[in-house]
Amino acid sequence: MKFAQVKAFPENFLWGASTSAYQVEGGWDADGKGLSIMDKGNHSTKNSDFKVASDHYHRYKEDVALLAEMGLKAYRFSLAWTRILPDGRGAVNQKGIEFYSNLINELLTYNIEPIVTMYHFDLPYALHQEGGWANRATIDAFVDYARVLFTHFGDRVKYWLTINEQNIMILHGAALGLFSEQGKKELYQQNHHMLVAQAKVMELCHTMCSQAKIGPAPNISSVYPAACKPEDYMAAQNWSAIRNWLYLDAAVFGRYNSLVWSYFTEKGYTPAILEGDMEILENAKPDFIAFNYYATATVAGSKNSTVSDRKADQQVAKDEEGVYYTEANPYVSKTEFGWSIDPAGFRNTLRELQDRYRLPLLVTENGLGAYDKLEPGDVVNDEYRIEFLRQHIEQARLAITDGVNLIGYCPWSAIDLVSTHSGVSKRYGFIYVNRDEFDLKDLRRIKKKSFYWYQKLIANHGTDLSGR
């Protein structure tokens, strides 16, 4: 739809940026931190030194000052469960509480709103050894962990995210470096446990922190039919239900998506649901939907594949016989890493979410991974990133004009960090961190061109996207 008048971003719009603990902090065993599956596992970032990552654990003050200089209104980051509860449950590590308390205070000093993810891929290894999410006891461990977080940070944190990209953990766990060799039935059982845990934690948040808001944080994207064939459209509905709606229908409506349930029944994937579970799901009410958006998907109803590169990747789906077949989209370009670049698809995704759930929406990731180059004189000329973000922000504004209740935009990533499976050299940040895969150099922070562009954009509240 074309509008003669494009609406402005809402007054209190949360212009932000994002990171996650294991990708940015380093200090992997500092001050009593326990080990997570990311520290122990078959994580592909072992191709680079992720024990130090961006050393944010030791440099958070300098980093927050830079975020403030950029003008951020919000900073979305995750807490390392194992910094707080080294064994996943039981004794609280006061040093971990102290670190996050200091970080939150530092942000608030600059009037930056903390948006806190409780769990971003880094399950405590101790819980993994007891079966991880396959074990129902992990539900209680997560609720107990949440209680600790609400007790210590609930007075200052107003925006909580439960689980980052639960859908990607279930569908593409191997690409993230999770221990994900289980069959789909077991994975969907784990998924059920996560849904119950999330619901319990949302309720607990409302009980313990009456001023706070909480929501899920899956990765959501529109799915296109490869052609206007009815069977392709149906395949797009199938993949969208399996990839997107399963997770949000459960979080928002407290029920399983009916199409996905039929798929489960057909394939033999139905999870065991205990008495009371569905009631727990129904009673939990998220205040908003946070979601990550990188790329749209395109699928067909029969095999005619143009997709040749099928290596493990969270944005490239694998075919599922009789359900959907992945196709390339000739109408969009791609990043150096093969992810489609689809700003209009971002608007489509926002519109779908608005229409389906009628909840405030918060974008918690969106960005461009690229091989940035540090040029003489400490210059990083990341024009391509500026263009990517500019186009997406433009579409966000159009989506607001469409009627979408968008409350914030937090691109990935605030600062360079370790990618889930492409090491340090796939960079996303506004701030360059001077290190290579194994050569830690001096880890100094360098403002990229996109830093100054975003700074200006925030200052003019997104009215001028050119960054002038």
The reply on whether position 63 binds ligand BG6 by CB under 6 A is: no
Binding marks (x or -) toward ligand BG6, 212..241, rule CB under 6 A? -------x----------------------
Point out the residues that are catalytic: 165, 365
Between 256 and 428, name the residue whose CB sits nearer to ligand BG6: 428
Residues 361-380 that bind ligand BG6 (CB under 6 A): 365, 369
Minimal distance, residue 426 CB to ligand BG6, in Å? 5
Q: Which of 48, 54, 162, 164 binds ligand BG6 (CB under 6 A)?
A: 164
Q: Does 385 bind ligand BG6 (CB under 6 A)?
A: no
162 in contact with ligand BG6 (CB under 6 A): no
Contact between 385 and 90 under an 8 Å Cβ cutoff? The reply is no
Give, as ranges, the residues between 281 and 310 that touch ligand BG6 (CB under 6 A): 292
In the numeric block, which tokens belong to residue 195?
């849904």
Binding segment for ligand BG6 among 149-157, 322-330, 398-406, 417-425 (CB under 6 A)? 417-425
Residue 132 as a binder of ligand BG6 (CB under 6 A): the answer is no
392 binds ligand BG6 (CB under 6 A): no
Please identify, using beta-carbon distances, which residue of 164 and 189 lies nearer to ligand BG6. Answer: 164
Are the C-beta atoms of residues 122 and 38 closer than 8 Å to each other?
A: yes
Residue placing its CB nearer to ligand BG6 in the complex, 93 or 340:
340
E-state strands within 272-424: 289-292, 297-300, 325-326, 333-334, 340-341, 361-365, 406-409
Closest CA to 171 of 273, 365, 317, 290: 317
Among residues 274, 341, 312, the alpha carbon closest in space to that of 43 is found at 312
Contact criterion met (CB below 8 Å) for 193 and 131: no
CB of residue 284 to ligand BG6, shortest distance in Å = 22
What's the rounded Cα separation, in Å, for the pair 340 and 411?
Answer: 16
354 binds ligand BG6 (CB under 6 A): no
User: What is the number of the residue whose Cβ is closest to ligand BG6?
Assistant: 419
Touching ligand BG6, residues 4-43 (CB under 6 A): 20, 23
Q: Which stretch binds ligand BG6 (CB under 6 A): 162-170, 237-245, 319-327, 397-405?
A: 162-170
**CB 363, min distance to ligand BG6, A:** 12
Q: How far is the CB of 25 from ligand BG6 (least distance, A)?
A: 13
CB 468 within 8 A of CB 454: no
Sheet holding 223-225, edge to edge: 223-225, 297-300, 325-326
- One residue of 166, 238, 257, 419 binding ligand BG6 per CB under 6 A: 419
Tell me the two tokens of residue 186.
């077991």
Torsion of CA 355, 315, 455, 447, to 10 degrees: 170
- Distances 156 to 78, 272, 429 between C-alpha atoms, Å: 15, 38, 26
Among 48, 162, 366, 420, binds ligand BG6 (CB under 6 A): 420
Cα separation of 119 and 174, whole Å? 18
Separation between Cα atoms, residue 147 and residue 59, nearest integer Å = 28
Compute the half-sphere exposure of residue 19: CA atoms within 13 Å on the CB side of its CA: 29
**Part in contact with ligand BG6 (CB under 6 A); list of ranges 206-214, 254-262, 265-273, 419-427:** 419-427
Contacts to ligand BG6 by CB under 6 A: 20, 23, 164-165, 168, 219, 292, 314, 365, 369, 412, 419-422, 426
